[in-house]
Amino acid sequence: MDSYYELPRTEIAALVTRPPKRVLEVGCGGGSFSAHFPEVSEYWGIEPVQAMAERASAKLHKVLVGMVEAHLDALPDAYFDLIVCNDVLEHMIDPQAVLRALQSKMAPGGELVGSVPNVRNSQLLKEVLVEKDWRYVDAGTLDRTHLRFFTLKSLGRVLRETGFVVDHVGGINTLWKWRGRRHALIPLAWAVIFGKDTLYNQLAFRLRLPS
């Protein structure tokens, strides 16, 4: 399970359009994502898992332990020019409220990038439509701890409703990236029937403050 907290997430780092100086990562895990930004002056993390927060403390300038909602008031206003939310919105009771609150923590010209699982991926469609089942598991799209589920369409709507400008929202990490190319034929067939968004295991986004 530790590897889940240490994924490099290069596909999310690629969404950042300018070198940041001050970064806040919500759900920072063990702090591995910070390796993409070695020149920052400050890198803050928020992490609810104590063991991961302790590991991140060796890499980041400051780590707050707990849920982001508990630390919002303590974060400086208009401070961070990059906020990262990798696979955390789905764990929140009210992700829109958190995103709205984070707006006040962003410096002018700042960006917010992140990802969520895609509940419309072909593997889950197969499980629901063919197997007529919906099984929660310890990790993945149907993680037992997930409170919210997103499709490409619903994610775009949810993000726009927060007041952010949505610069990008799209699919990442095809299913065969995880399972091998020999498993690609069936997902491609499902994509022809149900749409290309079913090819992707996750959805990524980049937001900015309105002018």
pLDDT digits (tens, 9 = 90+) for 112-166: 999 999 999 888 888 888 888 888 888 888 788 889 999 999 999 999 999 999 9
Span 189-206, average pLDDT: 83
Give the whole-angstrom CA distance, residue 31 versus residue 186.
Answer: 36
The range of the structural domain enclosing residue 55 comes to 9-118+143-174+199-206
Q: What is the total count of domains within the chain?
A: 1
- 32 in a domain, yes or no? yes
- 90 in a domain, yes or no? yes
Helices 152-161 and 95-103 meet at what angle, rounded to 10?
A: 50
pTM for the whole structure: 0.90
DSSP annotation of 129: I
- 191 in a domain, yes or no? no
- 169 in a domain, yes or no? yes
Span 23-36, average pLDDT: 97
Q: Distance of CA 60 to CAs 4, 23, 44, 48, Å? A: 18, 10, 6, 15
* Least confident stretch, 101-110, 155-164, 174-183: 174-183
Q: What is the pLDDT of residue 173?
A: 85
- 127 in a domain, yes or no? no
Q: What is the CATH number of the domain that holds 87?
A: 3.40.50.150
- 101 in a domain, yes or no? yes
Residue labelled with tokens 């006040």: 104
pLDDT digits (tens, 9 = 90+) for 34-93: 999 999 999 999 999 999 999 999 999 999 999 999 999 999 999 999 999 999 999 999
49, amino acid identity: V
Q: What is the pLDDT of residue 126?
A: 82
- 184 in a domain, yes or no? no
